Amino acid sequence: MIAAFLLLVGCGDPSTTPVTPSAPATMEDQGPLFATVETDRGSFRFKLRPDRAPISCANFVNLVQRGYFDDLSFYRHSRVIRQVGNPFNDENERYFPGYSIAPEFAADLKFDRGGMVAMVRLGDDPTAMVRTNEFFVTTKPQSERYTFKYPIFGEVVEGQDVVIGLMKDDVLRRIIIEGDPTPLLDVHAERVAGWNEALDYSPDPRK
């Protein structure tokens, strides 16, 4: 009995044990992130660049986690780009998810090679915001026309031949995020909550 009493005293009351709050997440906590894009013609994989375009990457990861891009078509196709994200599948009718973000540019991210993953802007004006639900991948260098006009948030590291081989209306089946995006999403938690609220109230033509 005495031993049991001493043991209880030594352990103390767990309900009164102070809990040290965990430090809030920062971008320094964010490890590497990759996205594997599965299409009808195979898969390609790109590295996200939250160190250069954190808000763009947070937006992309959030949409992926919502399954937004699943079964959408690469509806825009040229010698230079493969673009996806418009559920209307029509260049003359575009879906607006209820929010936009400012473009993020980095001096070391240029369209000086193929395989650059970038976001579409709402207009050609230098102050135009970003169309958050669409992205494109380049097939070849296009630096003079695209650099510092379309914001890059990723770079293809595997499967560029798949990107080049994509045809108009080929389907993106799903995207898998590799790595833990929790720090990125935590840092931008307030933004993400606002985005999700806007998405929930923006009628998706597929539903």
Residue position matching structure tokens 């070391």: 108
- Spans of all domains in the chain: 28-200
**Do 96 and 145 meet the contact criterion of CB atoms below 8 Å apart?**
no
Residue pLDDT, tens place only, 183-202: 999 999 999 999 999 999 99
Name beta bridge partners: 45: 36, 158
Position 13 confidence tier, pLDDT thresholds 50, 70, 90:
low
Report the CATH superfamily, name and number, of domain 28-200. Answer: Cyclophilin-like (2.40.100.10)
Q: How many Å apart are CA 77 and CA 83, to the nearest integer?
A: 7
**What pLDDT is attached to residue 145?**
92
Position 5 confidence tier, pLDDT thresholds 50, 70, 90:
very low
**What pLDDT is attached to residue 26?**
85
Q: How many residues does the chain have?
A: 207
Of 96, 58, 61, 91, nearest to 204 by C-alpha is 96
* Burial annotation 12-32 (CB, 10 A radius, 16+ → b, else e): eeeeeeeeeeeeebeeeebee
- Give pTM, 2 decimals: 0.88
User: How does the average pLDDT of the chain come out, rounded?
Assistant: 91
